[in-house]
Structure 1
Amino acid sequence: MARRVGIYTRISRDDEGEALGVARQQQDCERLADLRSWQAVKVYEDNDVSAFKRHVVREEFEMMLTDLRAGLIDGIVAYDLDRLARQPRDLERLIEIYDERPRLDFATVTNDINIATPDGRTMARIMVAFANKSSHDASRRIQRKHLELAQQGKDSGGPAPYGWRKDDRTKVDPDAAKAIREAQREILAGVRIGTIRTRWQEQGLGNPRAGTKRMAHHHVEHILTSPRLVGYRTYHGEILHGEDGRPVMGEWEPINALEEWEAVCAAVAERKRKHPGKTLARKYLLSGIARCGLCKTKIRGQINQKWQPGSKAARFTYQCSVVNGGCGKVGRVGDPVDRLIAQLVLEEQRARAAVAAAPVDQRWSGETELEQINEDIAQLVAAERSKQITVTTLLQLLPPKERERDELKLERARFYKEQKQGEAKNDTTNVTVDEFLALPVERQQEIVLHSLSAVIIHPAGRGRRKFDPSLIEPVWR
């Protein structure tokens, strides 16, 4: 009976995405299996997958080890040993299985190494060690090249980030940039990243990865807070600074002004500090805002179990609940209450805007001071480079300046965050009731809480009654 073997193929990079490299490997491995009179029963293919990077999991390689240990295959055929392993630990895992099952077969197309024998294992260990060193050397050269490109403000290649054109990653994609700015404005207005992520997923925005059902939360957050938005060049996720201490600017069009970007970053960071690991999702406008007219306990919305799309039953209700410490005696259909509150709040905010002075685009007062600190730092570094001062003197004078610079940058970010948040939250002059109710519920709550501190829902008595607006009491700020 022919020996059943598995064929393992792998290539680190498949830029065209056509899997031609692994296909050629498979053909050569099948030819070798025929020469040995072995039956190739399964092909384990890791296309566009590195065997050197430690954090990468090669799913087909792991499946092959499992099948080999379980006896489902009697050996392995690979194009070359470095297709199987470039990390000594992966080779040792494979050798361990061959130790446990001495009759396993092994062959490669390019050489005659056989890890089923002691001499073959010794040679395999030496070859993988050299392959590992080769990968380290290549990685070091690539990293040095990427750093050089970063210091020059150039891109390192790859797919264009969302917000820039796919055919020219230095040019802004107008539609994507518009979606980013709108989402940033929503963040400043109190909308969750999770809400934006869901909408983007439905609309196909944000360059979602092929085959994924949901975009990752951190992926959307990175798009909206990336330093690239203001033209800053990054290296390993950090903003790269030049010899003068200033951020290196990239050779592409920015999407945000600095104050806009800093405001969004500060708002996201503040939300993380205030609500670590806590969901901010809301389903109903007045949950936590409405209160029972009898016991004054907070009322929350709850879905009506009898409601079906197209039915006349109420979609949801605001109900005082005994479970939450209330009296359980007050409840109201939710939709007309929401519509009434939306109408009252929008009218109040339009009236307030009509008598308010025109908004002034104020600039942060510390801009000149920050610019002077940056200039002082650049002069100190230049003085040390020209041997006017020693390194010791530089390291004595530099830290206080850097601390002062960082404190001023934090103050600037806080200033623009509050300014941009105020603009985003107060921009309701031309919003209709229907447009208001179509907004994310977090945004609706921000608008309502700008005018109201609570909404008292008074009891309507027994029996079926027509909605009475007088029983809904807004408590104005």
Structure 2
Amino acid sequence: MDEDIHRKIAIAFQERASSGRRAPQRYLLSGLLRCGRCENRLFSSPRADRRRYVCLSGPDHGGCGRLTVTAPALEELITEAVLYRLDSPELADTIHGRGSSDDRIQILSTDLDAADARREELSTAYGEGTIEIAEWLIARRPIEQRIEQTTRALARLTKTSNLTTFMGTGSELRAAWAGLNLDRQHAIVKAVLDHAAIAPGRAGVQSVELERVSPIWRV
């Protein structure tokens, strides 16, 4: 993560930690974590009243057995990173095909930018009183349809169809997160995050430090 993203996530993570909100009772990140030592999958492994993710050794799991991380703190940290990602310009650029080398995607991306610019011009004209509300509504309809159709086509080509409903909703999801069931939360995280590698912690440090977490984004 770059320094600016690191700082913003750290602030948001601290705010969530001090809010007193209870962590979910099951495992939000099941199947999405890898051991930073051996790259094996981490498994949920409760101990007494503590929820944990653990690298398990042995023939059934194949890990090194040398890494454990507390579940609630890690889940809050990665949740905040995912919600921030949903509002990031990088995700919007990927979904809209900006920077792609695919000719089809480039054409659609240019069309989308042109439609967005046309919509902005129309809004400016209405705001300045150049056109009336009825004219604005009539002219806006085909532009909105063009934007919707182009966005859907881009999502199919960039294989991000499952993210178009989430893009730009990080702030809204953050406010509603505690009220979503675990399956819904997991689906949102999984749509954005391929997996996260968890590095070993420092001796004597109980919290989950940002430096331990290396997210691999799907987009």
| 1:44-83 equivalences in 2 (<5 Å) | none
| Structure-1 residue corresponding to 2:51 | 316
Cα 1:337–1:362 shift into 2, 3 Å:
same
| Structure-1 residue corresponding to 2:73 | 336
- Counterpart among 38, 52, 55 of residue 295 in structure 1: 38
Could you report, residue by residue, the CA deviation over 1:447-469 in whole angstroms, capped at 9, with x for unpaired residues? Answer: 22332211011111444534311
Which has the larger share of helix?
2
Q: Does 1:474 align with 2:215?
A: yes
| Structure-2 residue corresponding to 1:451 | 192
Cα 1:436–1:300 shift into 2, 3 Å:
farther
Unaligned stretches of 5+ residues in structure 2: 1-24, 97-111, 117-143, 151-155
Cα 1:461–1:293 shift into 2, 3 Å:
same
Cα 1:437–1:304 shift into 2, 3 Å:
farther
Question: How far 1:303 moved relative to its partner?
Answer: 2.5
Separation in 2, partners of 1:333, 1:429:
24
- Counterpart among 420, 436, 442 of residue 183 in structure 2: 442
| Structure-1 residue corresponding to 2:47 | 304
Confirm or deny: 8 A CA contact 2:86 2:166 kept in the other structure: no
Separation in 2, partners of 1:447, 1:344:
12
| Structure-2 residue corresponding to 1:56 | none
Question: How far 1:287 moved relative to its partner?
Answer: 1.2
Cα 1:472–1:335 shift into 2, 3 Å:
same
Confirm or deny: 8 A CA contact 1:286 1:338 kept in the other structure: yes
Confirm or deny: 8 A CA contact 1:426 1:447 kept in the other structure: no
Could you report, residue by residue, the CA deviation over 1:310-360 in whole angstroms, capped at 9, with x for unpaired residues? Answer: xxxxx4111111242211110111111111111111111101366656684
Q: Give the length in aligned residue pairs.
A: 135
Confirm or deny: 8 A CA contact 1:299 1:319 kept in the other structure: yes
| Structure-2 residue corresponding to 1:29 | none
Q: Does 1:362 align with 2:149?
A: yes
Separation in 2, partners of 1:419, 1:465:
37
Q: Partner of 1:337: helix, strand, or coil?
A: helix
Separation in 1, partners of 2:205, 2:163:
42
Q: What's the RMSD between the two structures over aligned residues?
A: 3.4
The amino acid across from 1:298 in the alignment is: R
| 1:224-373 equivalences in 2 (<5 Å) | 283-305=26-48, 307=49, 315-322=50-57, 323-352=60-89, 360-362=147-149
Cα 1:304–1:432 shift into 2, 3 Å:
farther
Confirm or deny: 8 A CA contact 1:290 1:299 kept in the other structure: yes
Unaligned stretches of 5+ residues in structure 1: 1-281, 308-314, 364-414
Cα 1:345–1:422 shift into 2, 3 Å:
closer
Could you report, residue by residue, the CA deviation over 1:98-147 in whole angstroms, capped at 9, with x for unpaired residues? Answer: xxxxxxxxxxxxxxxxxxxxxxxxxxxxxxxxxxxxxxxxxxxxxxxxxx
The amino acid across from 1:320 in the alignment is: C
Cα 1:419–1:321 shift into 2, 3 Å:
closer
Cα 1:460–1:422 shift into 2, 3 Å:
closer
Between 1 and 2, higher relative CO (CA 8 Å, sep ≥ 6) is seen in: 2
Confirm or deny: 8 A CA contact 2:44 2:52 kept in the other structure: yes
The amino acid across from 2:149 in the alignment is: Q
Separation in 1, partners of 2:81, 2:45:
23
Cα 1:471–1:443 shift into 2, 3 Å:
same
After TM superposition, where is structure 1 displaced by more than 6 Å over at least 4 residues in a row? none
| 1:6-405 equivalences in 2 (<5 Å) | 283-305=26-48, 307=49, 315-322=50-57, 323-352=60-89, 360-362=147-149
Q: Partner of 1:348: helix, strand, or coil?
A: helix
| Structure-2 residue corresponding to 1:245 | none
The amino acid across from 1:348 in the alignment is: R
Could you report, residue by residue, the CA deviation over 1:125-173 in whole angstroms, capped at 9, with x for unpaired residues? Answer: xxxxxxxxxxxxxxxxxxxxxxxxxxxxxxxxxxxxxxxxxxxxxxxxx
Confirm or deny: 8 A CA contact 1:330 1:459 kept in the other structure: yes
Separation in 2, partners of 1:430, 1:422:
15
Q: Partner of 1:430: helix, strand, or coil?
A: helix
Confirm or deny: 8 A CA contact 1:317 1:334 kept in the other structure: yes
Question: How far 1:437 moved relative to its partner?
Answer: 4.7
